[in-house]
Chains A and B, each alone.
Chain A
Amino acid sequence: MPADTVPVTGWGRTAPTAACLIRPRTYEEAAAAVRDCGARGGIPRGLGRAYGDAAQNAGGAVFDMTGLDRIHVIDAAAGIVLCDAGVSLHRLMEVLLPLGWFVPVTPGTRYVTVGGAIGADIHGKNHHVSGSFSRHVLSLELLTADGEIRTVGRDTPLFDATCGGMGLTGMILTATVRLQPVETSLMTVDTERARDLDDLMARLTAGDHRHRYSVAWIDLLARGATTGRAVLTRGDHAPLDALPRGTRARREPLAFRTSRFPAAPAFLPEGLLTRTTVGAFNELWYRRAPRARTGELQRISTFFHPLDGVPHWNRIYGRGGFVQYQFVVGHGQEDAVRRIVRRVSERRCPSFLAVLKRFGDADPGWLSFPVPGWTLALDIPAGLPGLGTFLDELDQEVAAAGGRVYLAKDSRLRPELLAGMYPRLDDFRALRAELDPRGVFVSDLARRLAL
């Protein structure tokens, strides 16, 4: 094996496999890397925020795309950017906010690349208004297994296979993305507390349409009558006249400010996150949230990306790592959500990051995750006894309700359930078989689930 073979994991730090890491700096180097990647193929990788094994390729090549990070064209009048796939959303915000533009969709972290955002067809707190990331992609350039660079426009099978295609259709080199205009770099945020799950779901249903961004943090350790109690946070981009006069914020309304805490230490003991510690945290988090507060001004980083302030926060789960479970079920399947929340609560999973939100209309990506309905995401330490079996049971609930789990976060789904969750899977497989008959683009996720 080559000397630069290194162990690679996803953000959850489970199931490491070894791959040869290649970091192309030019499109020619990228094409050469794809051409020469050997019998076990290769997979593009951005900033490694996929939780599971989507950007790992055991025994083969992993193409680190962060070396391709140029922003080519910004059309500040029309709000369109053309950039390399390795550019991060963080970088785009730094460059675009002073010009009055914001990324159309951001997940809970700014440290994802544009290529990764398309490959996972990411969603954000504005899905009910703005859909997933691919809705804002006007076109992209894709380096396919035959070594050609194709310009892929909307409404083509290759576009729909690539958006949410987990990097398996080829290597995205550039993308043209439509942006969101903003007057300021601050958010006006409304916060309210929901005393239980029914209260929460009623509030989300009644009020989501009034805000561009909406999300609820759930205390999954609360039991009994308070099962599903939550803090609901909704926001909009603050208009200029919402900023108080005479302040620094008003003088520099489009400045992009972030805060950064020290990184989590490299070695943390196992079992830091127990029912007791997480329970105490959840209690505090719920109590410190205001019962109802409106119009609070928050930075973009505070509202969207609180965890980005702590580099390597994934280390707090210790060496054993963690799994993130995210599923969606359609409207009308509220009972499935209730059952799953109750089961997680009763099982006392120490999860301090549990988020519920309502998705709006789906986008056409064949393996794209969002469908209209309810989505719940939760982090759980991988070392929790019996967790594998428990999550398999939740999968059954989700599948029975016609829902699906998110591939960018998956690290343990049973392959048998996949086709039921993603009805366009066979189309995806057929397109890959035709486009890439030798299986050049392949990942651990693809092998595990036979994508």
Chain B
Amino acid sequence: MKDAFGIPQSLLVLGGTSEIALATVRRLIARRTRTVWLAGRPSPALETAAADLRAQGADVHTVAFDALDADSHEAALGKIFAEGDVDMVLLAFGVLGDQARDEREPAAAVRVAQTNYTGAVSSGLVAARALQAQGHGSLVVLSSVAGERARRSNFIYGSSKAGLDAFAQGLGDALHDTGVHVMVVRPGFVRSKMTAGLEEAPLATTPEAVAAAIELGLRRRSETVWVPGALRVVMSALRHVPRGLFRRLPL
């Protein structure tokens, strides 16, 4: 069960090698979290992540999970929820893609969309139903500021996050007053292996800062969290910039 500050005792991460997710789990283990399910494609990286978290004193299990294989989600997540209550599900998988290549190869672009959006729709709905049945829990969805307004430089990724973001908001409304809390997290540019080699955007942040914002959001039962918080203002201004001008901005 969560405590009065929204800190979970058991936690399921979809996308178990995500740096933001692991920073979040480390932070939560330091508070109350004792049971962690790391779901992802079987890999040495997943096992290393699990071993790292075990060293912190948590009871960590790894589970095979493939965002692209929507048909398997029901069974994969069902098994976890059958073991006991999950106080928080962190939906953290996602790929950035390579905008230039993805524009040339539509099949690659579709893979980005399927991972980031379709995979989240299917696993998000499965998780939401399980959380609703247990009458409590948080579903934390890692969206992105890129979904707030699509930019020329990464609109394939951005559009997939826009879909995910809209889906998660609607799901949150659907689950209002069911005891289940849906929180959409919109980080800006996060310095991580996903963005390694990319030019840093203004207001860049770190996985640890996102983790801290998630903990605060859990306590406040927030519906949306921006990291850093200043992005809320910046993005709400950018959203209203006219197309012609927006196109010419160096973003």
Report which A residues bind B (CB closer than 8 A): 1, 5-7, 12, 14-19, 40, 52-53, 57-60, 320-321, 323, 382-383, 387-389, 411-412, 414-415, 444, 447-448
Contacts and interface: CB of A to CB of B under 8 A. Distances in A.
B177 interface: yes
A387 B133 contact: no
Interface stretch (B5-13, B144-152, B196-204, B224-232): B5-13
A7 B179 contact: yes
Contacts of A447: 1, 85
Contact of A15 (B6, B85, B220): B6
Contact of B179 (A18, A382, A411): A18
B177 A414 contact: no
Contact of A59 (B2, B7, B177, B179): B179
Contacts of A17: 1, 135-136, 179
Closest 3 CB pairs of A and B: A59-B135, A18-B179, A58-B135
B32 to A, nearest CB: 7
B3 A40 contact: no
Contact of A18 (B3, B7, B85, B136): B136
B3 A1 contact: no
A55 to B, nearest CB: 14
Contact of A389 (B1, B31, B135, B179): B31
Interface of B: 1-7, 9, 31-32, 85, 132-136, 177-180, 219-220
Contacts of A389: 31
Contacts of B219: 320, 382-383, 388
B1 A388 contact: no
A388 B7 contact: yes
Contacts of A415: 9
B9 A12 contact: no
Nearest to A8: B179
A321 B4 contact: yes
**Interface majority SS on A: helix, strand, loop or mixed?**
loop
A18 B177 contact: yes
A294 B54 CA distance: 62
A412 B136 CA distance: 16
A413 to B, nearest CB: 8
Contacts of A52: 4
Contact of B135 (A12, A14, A19, A382): A19
Given A17-B179, A320-B220, A40 B135 contact: yes
B136 A59 contact: yes
A109 B244 CA distance: 64
Contacts of B31: 388-389
B132 A411 contact: no
A382 B5 CA distance: 7
Given A18-B179, A388-B31, A389-B31, A12 B132 contact: no
Contacts of A321: 4
A59 B132 CA distance: 7
A6 B177 CA distance: 7
A33 to B, nearest CB: 17
Contacts of B178: 1, 5, 7, 18
A328 to B, nearest CB: 20
- Which has the most chain B C-beta neighbours within 10 Å: A15, A52, A411, A414? A15
23 contacts: A5-B135, A12-B4, A15-B1, A15-B3, A15-B4, A15-B6, A17-B135, A19-B179, A57-B135, A58-B134, A58-B136, A59-B136, A321-B4, A383-B220, A387-B5, A388-B7, A388-B219, A389-B31, A412-B4, A444-B136, A447-B1, A447-B85, A448-B3
A58 B3 CA distance: 13
Nearest to B133: A59
A392 B31 CA distance: 9
A363 B5 CA distance: 32
B81 to A, nearest CB: 11
A447 B3 CA distance: 11
Most buried by A among B3, B6, B32: B3
B179 A388 contact: no
Contacts of A58: 1, 85, 134-136, 179
Contacts of B5: 14, 382, 387-388, 412
Nearest to B7: A388
B4 A382 contact: yes
Nearest to B3: A412
A415 B34 CA distance: 10
A359 B180 CA distance: 40
Given A58-B136, A320-B220, A388-B31, A16 B1 contact: no
A203 B32 CA distance: 40
B134 A40 contact: yes
A444 B220 CA distance: 20
A58 B135 CA distance: 4
A444 B1 CA distance: 7
- Choose among B2, B32, B85, B134 the residue with the greatest number of A CB atoms under 10 Å from its CB: B2
A388 B3 CA distance: 9
B133 A1 contact: yes
Contacts of A16: 136, 179
B136 A448 contact: no
